[in-house]
Amino acid sequence: MDIIYIIDILGTFAFALSGALVASKKEFDLFGVIILAFVTAVGGGMLRDILINAHPINWIGDLNYIKTIAIAVVFTFLFKSKIEPLRKTFFLFDTIGISVFTLLGLQKGLSYDLPSVVAIIMGMVSAVFGGVIRDVLTREVPLIFKKEIYASACLAGGLVYLVLKNFEVNENFSFIFSASVIILIRTLSVIYKLELPKIKDDLFKN
């Protein structure tokens, strides 16, 4: 699990950075930047832990999250103008991050003996709701509701993981394979600008 923990922290860093950048674009002050980095990075896991009554919740039980967020905020203050050109690098971190967040959330759900469907939802909440809280606090309609196929990637990866688990495939292999599914779907969807269908008209409208 060591590598997964490192990826978890790297993903947290990428999420915190994205929150800090949004905040600085909106001319928030230092405190606003910290809060936004914070909720973006750990908001999803925090909501998951509150919903399933897992105390101490993520960032209270492991102070490395707070430290990671602090570093990301300092980093943003020092190097903001240099971060933009690194966008692709951070997209990579971010994408690997959500894949790990999804699967760790799902595993946590299963370890609390939740039904599979609830565990999958917990994986998605972990990966997605940090961004939703960020968007609500900055008064944006949550991006996730409109564009990216982000959530579907998490869902697909979670389902793959459950199927593999069901067939008692090796744990590490299942984790890496499912994470790859998430990373692949998200990357392809961004490259090819895939979107989910919208309900403009219903199927039977004539």
Residues that bind a second copy (CB under 8 A): 20, 23-24, 26-33, 35-36, 46, 50-53, 55-57, 60, 63, 66, 76-82, 114-115, 117-118, 121, 132, 136-142, 144-147, 151-152, 195-205
User: Nearest to residue 98, comparing CAs of 27, 173, 181?
Assistant: 181
d(CA 168, CA 183): 23
Amino acid, res. 195: E
CB 43 within 8 A of CB 130: yes
Cβ distance to a second copy smaller for residue 140 or 177: 140
CB 6 within 8 A of CB 79: no
User: Nearest to residue 128, comparing CAs of 37, 21, 15, 38?
Assistant: 15
Cβ distance to a second copy smaller for residue 122 or 179: 122
Tokens of 66: 């707070």
Smallest separation (angstroms) from a second copy to the CB of 169: 26
Smallest separation (angstroms) from a second copy to the CB of 4: 24
Smallest separation (angstroms) from a second copy to the CB of 118: 5
Cβ distance to a second copy smaller for residue 191 or 199: 199
Cβ distance to a second copy smaller for residue 7 or 155: 155
Smallest separation (angstroms) from a second copy to the CB of 109: 9
User: Nearest to residue 128, comparing CAs of 90, 82, 120?
Assistant: 120
